[in-house]
Structure 1
Amino acid sequence: MTYSNVLVTREDHLTIITINRPQAYNALDPDTQLELQDAFDRFEQDDEQWVGILTGAGPKAFCGGMDLKAQAERGDLFTPQKGFGGLTARFDLSKPLIAAVNGIAMGGGCELALACDIVVASENALFALPEPRVGLAALAGGIQRLPREIGLKHAMGMLLTGRRVSAKEAQTLGFVNEVVSEDVVGAARRWAQDILACSPMAVRATKEATLRGLEVSVAEGLSGEWHYPAMTAMLASQDAVEGPMAFAAKRTPAWKGR
C-alpha cells in the first residue's frame, strides 16, 4: 500500500510511524486512518520489527484528532475496524508502542497516545478530550482508558470539562512517562533502545500478562499467566536459552525473537 499521509521508517528492529498532515495539525481523515491501520498491521506482522514509535510531523501537533471538516462532509464518524487511527481498538498488538507527542494531542489524538504503552512528550505538548465541547464524547477509548490510568476523579476533571492539560501536568497525573525539551522522537528512541536491549519474546509476554492482569485478581493473574500465548512462546523460545547463557558468559545477548 502506498501512503499519502503516513510515513513509515525502519531502523533495524524499530519502526517509526509518522502522521504526515502538518497542514491540518495531523488530524485524521478517513484515508489517513486507513493508512495508519495498514501501517500498524504491517508492523505487527513483521517478525523483524520489535518496537514501534508513533509521532506526528512538524513542531505543532502530534494529532489534532478527527478531521472535523472531513467528518462534516461525510456526515458520519468514520472509524476503521481497528479503531481510531487503526489503533485504539487494536487490543491484540503484542509489540510495545511508544507515543512521541510533539505538540497538541486533542480528542482522538489524546486517545491515540493513551492507547500506546509509553508516552514521551515535548514541553509544548497539550492533551485534551474536548469532545463534549462539540457535542460528542471520547468514544475511541478515552472514557475507558483515562480513569484506569489516572483515577476516576482526575479523569472526570478532564472528561467532563474538555480542559487542556500541559505535558508537565500530564506527567504528574500519570499518563505521560517523560517530558523533554529536546527532540521528542530522539527521546522515544532512547526508550525504544532500552526495550530492544531486552528479549522481544520476554517483552511481548510481559505486555500480554500485564494487560490481562488488569482484568483479573492478582491470584488469577499469577495462575493464568503461564498459559498465555506470548508467555508460552517465550518459555519455549531460543531467547529463553540465550539469555541465561549470555549472562553466565558475561556477554551481550544475541536475541533472535523466536
Structure 2
Amino acid sequence: MAYEYCTVERDGPILKVTMNRPELYNALHAPAHCELAEVWDDYAKDQDLWCAILTGAGDKAFSAGNDLKYTAQGGKGTPPPSGFAGLSMRYDLEKPIVAAVNGFAMGGGFETALSCDIIIAADTAKFALPEVKVGLFAAAGGVQRLSRQIGRKRAVEMMLTGRSVTAAEGKEFGFVNEVCSPADLMDRAMAKAQELISVSPSSIKATKRVLNAMEDLENLRISLHYSRYVSTELRNTEDFHEGVNAFVEKRKPQWKNR
C-alpha cells in the first residue's frame, strides 16, 4: 500500500517504517498520525511480521514533533485514538519496535521514540521535550514515559527547561540503548531487529503482554488520558496561542501567564 506521509518496506519478518516529511523535518500533523496508525494496526495483525524499525527520512531529523505551522494555520483533522504517530496511546502492541533515531527527536518526535521498545541513535542525534518553550507541554507521553525510563529528577529537569541532550547523554541517562555513527545507524537497527526475530516470537509477545499489563498497573493509560484533558485546557490559554504564533513568526514569545 502506498502512503503519503511515510514509506513502508518489508524485509522478511521485519517492517521498516520511515516518517517521510523531510522538508518539515518529519514533523507530524493529524493526517500523518492517522496514516501511521493504519501502519501499526496492519503490523499488529500481520502474523508474518515479527519486528519493526521506525526512522525518519533525510539525515537531519527523526521527527521535529508536532507540525506547529499546521496547527497555527487551523489545520483540520483529529489524531487517532492511538495517539502521536499512532503509537503514544497504543497500549496493546505485542510486537517490538526499534527506533533508529537519525537526527533530532524533538517534542512528539522524542515521545514517539520513547514509545518504541529500543532506541538506537546516531551520534549526531539530539533529544528534547521543548514544548514549554512554545506554550505546550509533553502531553503525548513524554511526562510519563521519560520519568519512568530515566527517573523523575533527570526527567523533570529536561521537561521544565526544554533543553536538548545528545545521544551520548541519552545513553548515560538510560533512554538510549546504543549510539553509533550515522553511516552505521540502519545497519545497527537491522542487526538488532535480526536479533529480535531470532528468538521466539511467542515469547516476545508474552513478555510484551506482561510489560503492557505493568503499564496498566502503573496507571499509564489513565495518566495519558489526563494529559489530553490538561492539554485541551492549555490550548485555551493566551500563552499557548502566543507560543505557537511566536514559533511560526520566528520571534521570542511574550508570556502573559494567563
Q: Helix, strand or coil: the match of 2:4?
A: coil
The residue type equivalent to 1:110 in the other structure is F
Same amino acid, percent of matched pairs: 48
Greater relative contact order (CA < 8 Å, ≥ 6 in sequence) = 2
Larger CA Rg, structure 1 vs 2: 1
Q: Helix, strand or coil: the match of 1:26?
A: coil
Distance 1:110 1:143 in 2: 11
Q: Which runs of 5+ in 2 are unaligned?
A: 219-258
Q: Given the alignment of the two structures, is residue 183 of structure 1 paired with residue 184 of structure 2, yes or no? A: yes
Correspondence for 1:155: 155
Distance 2:77 2:11 in 1: 35
Correspondence for 1:61: 61
The residue type equivalent to 2:108 in the other structure is G
Correspondence for 1:115: 115
How many angstroms does 1:216 deviate by?
A: 5.2
Distance 1:109 1:214 in 2: 21
Correspondence for 2:135: 135
Cα deviation, 1:7-55, whole Å, max 9, x if unaligned, reads 0000000000000111110000222111111111111111100001110
* Matched residue count: 217
How many angstroms does 1:164 deviate by?
A: 0.2
How many angstroms does 1:78 deviate by?
A: 4.4
Where in structure 1 do 4 or more consecutive aligned residues deviate above 3 Å?
75-78, 213-217
Over 3 Å counting, the alpha-carbon distance change for 1:77 and 1:173 in structure 2 is farther
Correspondence for 2:84: 84
Correspondence for 1:144: 144
TM-score by length of structure 1 reads 0.81
Distance 2:55 2:115 in 1: 13
Correspondence for 2:106: 106
TM-score by length of structure 2 reads 0.81
Distance 2:2 2:196 in 1: 29
How many angstroms does 1:104 deviate by?
A: 0.5
Is this contact kept in 1: 2:93–2:208, CA < 8 A? no
Q: Which runs of 5+ in 1 are unaligned?
A: 218-258
